[in-house]
Homo-oligomer: A and B are copies of this chain.
Amino acid sequence: MSKTKVGIINVTGYAGVELARLLSKHPTVELTSVTGRSAAGQPLGKVFPHLSNIDLTITTELGDVDLAFSAMPHKESAKEIIPLLKKGIKIVDISSDFRLKDPAAYPAWYSFNHPGPELLNEAVFGLTELHRSEVASARLVANPGCYPTGAILAFAPAVKAGIIKPDIIVDSKSGVSGAGRTLSLNTHFAEVNEDVSAYSLEGHRHLPEITQELSLLNKNMVPNITFIPHLIPMTRGILTTGYATLVPGKLTEGPKGKDELRELYRAFYKDEHFVKVVDFPPHTKYVSGSNFVLIYPTIDLRTGRLVVISAIDNLVKGAAGQAIQNMNVMLGFLEWKGIDAPALYP
């Protein structure tokens, strides 16, 4: 049986290289083309020694593939993708260029006018757990941002069930790889090691994704979200701690309500391979290198608040792993094919 040919546009960032790592061991696809401007002409395994077993040279132009992952920066990605779609190549876009449905969001949040606004409705927001059937028939999937993946999955069951009020606080703690491979003082070792700080307090670009998706889950609710990301001294992982006030009367008061809450979450995710609703506060270490998501919903009984915590690996479920999960669905493979390895612990 011949394998499906896939390619990676801009393999040289952390999402691109993580795609290559995972795709190189995927049983039913073959990675046949990787592009990257700065490193064009070099063997992939020379630029990234951990990939030396992949026999590919980085090129400027994408080769002949059935499906391509774009790991280009936003704005650049749409430009690369649109011609490929026309050629009939299926696309999973890791960038943010097709995540937001509202064309006006691009100039507002990303400072550019979208070059293909007519595609925004067609593009499927690839949080697989929420849009599986649309992903299955899509030719263009917009892979979610890393923070939105953790935040939306944490709140989706509660929003859908209408058990919380719309005032939502999302406090996320991310490893530094989320900031990419581009050099910056914020990611300079001596600055970020032994340090923690919040950033993007004026509004992080991942906020509209979170708002859009939570809004879709419940027509009776207009979520009012404050989202504050933090950078912490580790490489991989995002822990999201979410807070919201429970609507009185939906869950039994007292400890029993906690059990009902957990059951509600478990029911919501009962068919999901990658989402595990747990009964302890999750650690990002438990999902490092894997596509799994751990979610712990609980109630602060003193105040009647939902506290929900999710842990993901920002480069796997938050980027490359989920992209392959989407690819699997698009191509009709088993959803967890090639991405069901357990986390690397410790």
Contact B228 A290 (CB under 8 A): no
The answer to the question of A3 belonging to the interface, with a C-beta cut-off of 8 Å to chain B, is no
Contact A189 B235 (CB under 8 A): yes
Closest to A198 in B: B281
Q: Please give, as numbers and ranges, the residues of chain B lying within 8 Å of A340 by CB-CB distance.
A: 25, 53
Task: Tell me the minimal C-beta distance from A232 to chain B in angstroms.
Answer: 5
Contact B281 A199 (CB under 8 A): yes
Per the bound structure, the CA–CA distance linking A183 and B187 in Å amounts to 9
Stretch at the interface among A79-87, A236-244, A263-271: A236-244
Contact B177 A226 (CB under 8 A): no
Closest to A195 in B: B285
Q: Please give, as numbers and ranges, the residues of chain B lying within 8 Å of A253 by CB-CB distance.
A: none
Contact A342 B51 (CB under 8 A): yes
Contact B235 A346 (CB under 8 A): yes
Contact A286 B189 (CB under 8 A): no
Interface centre among A287, A294, A340, A343 (most CB of B within 10 A): A343
Contact B190 A181 (CB under 8 A): yes
Contact A239 B197 (CB under 8 A): yes
CB neighbors of B among A65-103 (8 A): none
Give 9 closest A-B pairs by Cβ, nearest first: A50-B343, A195-B285, A190-B346, A183-B183, A197-B283, A176-B189, A171-B171, A177-B190, A49-B286
